[in-house]
A and B are shown apart, each in its own frame.
Chain A
Amino acid sequence: MRIERGKPEGDCGIGKEQAMIRFLKYMKGYLRVRVWGFSPERFMNLCSNKGILLWDIVREGDVYYMNITLKGFWEIRPIAKKTGTRVAILERYGLPFFLPRLLKRKMFVLGLVLAVVFWTVSSFFIWDINLNGNYQITDDVLQDFLKGNQVRIGMRRDDLDIQELEKQIRRQFPQITWASVRLDGTKLLIDIKENDAPIATREHAVDEKHSMGGAQDATGTDLVAEYNGRVVSIIVRSGVPKVAIGDTVEKGTVMVEGKVPVYNEDATVREYSYVDADADIVLEHASEFTASLPFDHTEKRYTGREKSSHYIKLGDRSWALPENRPFLVYDSVIKESRPLMLERLSVPAFWGTVTYREYQNVEYKYTAEEAKVHLNQKLMDFLAELEEKGVQIIEKDVKIETGNDVWVLKGQFLVQEPVGASVRTERIEVEKTEENE
């Protein structure tokens, strides 16, 4: 049986070990020494007996060169005396020799210490706030809200109560269904999920609040017509349809009821189960659009003269060169940017340019052609909006007329539009039910 101690070099695993040993040697410091005299071999034997590591021993003539640890070197004197050898230091290696030389450079050390202090201190603060997932609620609104809650850039990290902030966000904005606040280094990350379910649920919530404890289960909504018109198609997913294709309905008519009757064997109603009515209903109805354009209007005519001023912003504070009214009438464009490096480090430093553009107000009268173009543009916008809602236009009748100092565009359309507004179902208690239950 063999006992495996450190294996000789050549194994794969040794490389790392060797590097580690070399690193340790460097950390502890070592010397290259020259040994000569009466019996260097005995010197080496005594060294190894005392546990002093020697390596890279080379003999040249009568002189031995070897490496010795710094700690070992302090214990060498009696050995050298005993063996009649002399030891001379040739070179010094390692951190214990390098460090004092480094420390002599006072400014360097000071800078190092200051840098460490700076980074440590600045890591106690929040340097960036990241908002994520807000679509309906704008960044500005959220930022104002945060400011109102004493959450600012540059605040202490300890002052932030993350759970409280999450709660506050959900309380303040009912449409936010999920909020997560977390700290990533010096960055405050706020993730939000907004409610994208139909508005009905929101009405629901309000209703519920108003009539606390009115109904045990909150479900039960009807679909109600929003226009007077004719039903073109109806596909019901849940609820009881009250209209058929071809029926004319008036505004407010219940088209699909969320009250589903459950019958007894003798065809009497035993109870009602309430559901949220859900259906695709297309209603054909007439729609109107008018747009007007006054004959004269003022137009901005840029003179082409521009002035720009620069500013630097740090957090909420900004410094700009004082600039008094550059022109009599002007508007301004602000361009703000942040150096990439600072963005990566989340340092709230920006620079920006404000460009002032002079313009003159010019009274202007539209010609018939121009008016037509403008009004048509408005019409196109309206139609595009309809299309977005899924409205189909069946008939179209558009006229442009001149009124009192205005051009008027009048359009009449016959459209097919998906409709259905949710309204709470009226509850009818069937007395029998209670007996049954």
Chain B
Amino acid sequence: MRRNNDRIQRNEERKESLIDSLRFPKDICMGAMKVTLTGNREAWIENYRGLLEYTESHILLQGRTCQVCFEGARLSIDYYTNEDMKISGCISCVRYL
């Protein structure tokens, strides 16, 4: 099991170095989420799968490989489309789960 995990890890690393050397955009090729924070007021997120939870104090997003949780106060979603979304409010914490 552990060996298996190691192999997956090694595969990932190899993939990453390949993408790096070819200078491909990582967010697309690796399915990573792209988060742009402007101060603590705005967050602009790309490349996510969906919204899991939304309350005024926290927003949980599902990505391809992980989940991201924005915590704060008075959080609201400015817009929400298939490609990107914008969160505004007072963000106090961004956590990767």
Contacts and interface: CB of A to CB of B under 8 A. Distances in A.
A64 B53 CA distance: 12
Contact of B24 (A1, A5, A40, A58): A1
A5 B77 contact: no
Contact of A55 (B24, B44, B78): B78
Contacts of B46: 5
Interface string B66-92: 000000000011111111111000000
Interface stretch (A6-14, A147-155, A353-361): A6-14
Nearest to A67: B79
B42 A44 contact: no
Nearest to A44: B51
B interface: dominant SS: strand
Contacts of B80: 44, 47-48, 53-55, 57
Interface in A38-95: 40-41, 44-45, 47-49, 51, 53-60, 64, 66
Contact of A56 (B42, B79, B84, B85): B79
B54 A59 contact: yes
A317 interface: no
Contacts of B76: 56-59
Chain B interface size, under 10 / 10 to 19 / 20 to 34 / 35 or more? 20 to 34
A9 B86 CA distance: 9
Interface in B24-81: 24-25, 27-28, 36, 38, 42, 44, 46, 50-56, 76-81
A2 interface: yes
Given A3-B25, A54-B80, A56-B78, A8 B38 contact: yes
A152 B73 CA distance: 76
A8 B82 contact: no
A85 to B, nearest CB: 13
A8 B76 CA distance: 15
Q: Which of B55, B77, B83 has the most CB of A within 10 A?
A: B77
A5 B28 CA distance: 13
A10 B78 CA distance: 14
Given A5-B46, A59-B56, 7 more contacts: A9-B42, A41-B52, A48-B85, A53-B79, A55-B80, A56-B77, A59-B55
13 contacts: A1-B23, A1-B24, A3-B25, A5-B83, A9-B42, A44-B80, A48-B80, A48-B82, A49-B82, A51-B81, A53-B81, A54-B81, A57-B80
The 4 tightest CB contacts between A and B, nearest first, are: A55-B79, A57-B77, A45-B50, A8-B44
Interface of B: 23-25, 27-28, 36, 38, 42, 44, 46, 50-56, 76-86
